[in-house]
Chain A
Amino acid sequence: MNIRKPFLLFVIVPFLSGCPNPAAYREPITRFQQASTIVIEGARSEYGLANSAERNAEIDRLVAAKSRIDLSKLNDPAIRLLGPDDLNARLATLDTLAKHGQLLLTLASSDAPTRAKDAANSLDDAIVGLSTSLGKTPSDKFKSSVEGFATIAGEAAKLALDAKISEALDKAIAASDKSVTEILTLIKEDLGYLYERRRSNLSAARKYAVDAYNLELDKQVINVDALKKSASEIKKTEDTWDTLPLLLGAGPGLDAMAEAHQKLVQYAKSSKSPQDLAELVEATDAFVTRAKVIADAIKTIKETKE
């Protein structure tokens, strides 16, 4: 999402200022794009795993309580963190941000006039999907912020289709200044809540592992193999507990993205001196470093889902 905005800014700068050396922006733009892709995909994974992680935690709870499992209980909306409409709206938002970024990149490239149409059409399709998803969700902060972004992105897509490249870039910059920041903040809030649920579920898993060991230990005839198996499970859950900060997932990446995005906005508004560019490159590099950590975090979250 933010990726696109920064991209726009990078792109816009040479266009609007008539900078003679667009190649200078190529590397920071590319790096920003790579980092943003990781963060966006990370957020997508976290949303995608949220409900199944809750369902698995419920199964663990029922097993520990030696309770019957029935499918209606497992599919009870009460144990879902996100309803189907809420989930679709969030995934559609991430998709639109990705397509928006792609349009920006295309507009910044040397063959923009020939490729912009495809990118704009793709963004247009994403906006249609997003609008449909938002139509099914109740009015809240998320919906109003995303609607604002969709409107501006839609206008940028239209200008690109009309081959008004510079204006399309302008529009994308305008969008990046406020609505992307708002969307990033909302997604970060969402992911913060998902982290808290992961922590609570993992805490329960630690307890179940210790319980299983202690129950085996208290049997009159101890099954050594079962005891060792329980001990292994304790080691596994404790190791995961030690990696708790990694379970923060893409959240910290959204902060880094927002910071890098802000630098992009500042750069677009600056006189584009070498110092301005150096600051931008520094912010982008910091974002890339953070994104590498995010990639590991997402891997950990996927592994601990079970």
Chain B
Amino acid sequence: MTEQTITPPEKPITLRELVRIVGDVLTEIDVLSTHFNPGTDNRKKIDPERDKLDASQRKLVKGAIKDNTEEFKKRTASIKAINKDIQQTINDVDKFATTLETVVKFVGAIQKIAELAP
């Protein structure tokens, strides 16, 4: 008989936790960005994403979003998984294209959450 392991459901993310994760990603993007000079192709792609993420974090911080609603839980459901994907490549400059792709996905998800602000 094979043993079955039951994975407990992941705890819903809080607004505070979300803001911290966004801050972590912003910091990681900044570190990655310094491998390329401003104006280069890679920077032209990653800089606007950084700006969008920064603006979204500011919206989240303004605090008018309630993190105990179903809508918030729904929109944040994929955040931890996307962040995990980012962590797989963001420290490897040779995997910039993959990182960018995942960052774009992350930024889109965060913008959707920030839209909950009244």
Interface residues in chain A, defined as those with a beta carbon under 8 Å from any beta carbon in chain B:
54, 61, 64-65, 78-79, 81-82, 138, 140, 189-190, 192-194, 196-197, 199-200, 203-204, 206-207, 210-211, 214-215, 218
B74 interfacial contact with A, CB 8 Å: no
Docked Cα-Cα span, A211 to B38, in Å, equals 7
Query: CB distance B61 to A81 under 8 Å?
Result: yes
Query: CB distance B61 to A203 under 8 Å?
Result: no
A193-B19 contact, Cβ under 8 Å, with A79-B58, A81-B61, A200-B54 = yes
> Which one of B34, B61, B62 contacts A196 once the chains associate, using CB atoms below 8 Å?
B61
Q: Which of A65, A81, A189, A204 has the most CB of B within 10 A?
A: A204
Query: CB distance A215 to B20 under 8 Å?
Result: no
Query: CB distance A81 to B16 under 8 Å?
Result: no
The stretch from B1-9, B25-33, B76-84, B90-98 touching chain A is B25-33
Between A and B, 18 residue pairs with Cβ closer than 8 Å are A61-B51, A65-B38, A78-B58, A79-B58, A140-B64, A190-B63, A193-B16, A196-B19, A197-B57, A197-B58, A203-B23, A203-B27, A204-B26, A204-B30, A204-B54, A210-B34, A211-B34, A211-B37
5 shortest A-B CB distances, which residue pairs?
A207-B30, A193-B61, A203-B27, A210-B34, A203-B30
> Which one of B23, B33, B59, B62 contacts A199 once the chains associate, using CB atoms below 8 Å?
B23
Residue of B nearest to A57 (CB): B54
Which residues of chain A come closer than 8 Å to B64, judged between CB atoms? 138, 140
Which residues of chain B come closer than 8 Å to A81, judged between CB atoms? 58, 61-62
Interface size class of B (residues with CB under 8 A): 20 to 34
> Which one of B16, B37, B54 contacts A192 once the chains associate, using CB atoms below 8 Å?
B16
In chain B, residues 37-72, which have Cβ atoms closer than 8 Å to a Cβ of chain A?
37-38, 47, 50-51, 54-55, 57-59, 61-64
Interface majority SS on A: helix, strand, loop or mixed? helix
Query: CB distance A200 to B37 under 8 Å?
Result: no
Which residues of chain A come closer than 8 Å to B54, judged between CB atoms? 200, 204
> Which one of A194, A203, A218 contacts B37 once the chains associate, using CB atoms below 8 Å?
A218
Query: CB distance B27 to A196 under 8 Å?
Result: no
Docked Cα-Cα span, A210 to B35, in Å, equals 10
Which residues of chain A come closer than 8 Å to B55, judged between CB atoms? 78
A207-B16 contact, Cβ under 8 Å, with A81-B58, A190-B63, A197-B61 = no
Which residues of chain B come closer than 8 Å to A197, judged between CB atoms? 57-58, 61
Docked Cα-Cα span, A193 to B61, in Å, equals 6
Which residues of chain B come closer than 8 Å to A61, judged between CB atoms? 51
Docked Cα-Cα span, A138 to B59, in Å, equals 17
Closest chain-B Cβ to A288's Cβ sits at a distance in Å of 28
A64-B63 contact, Cβ under 8 Å, with A199-B27, A204-B54 = no
Docked Cα-Cα span, A140 to B67, in Å, equals 13
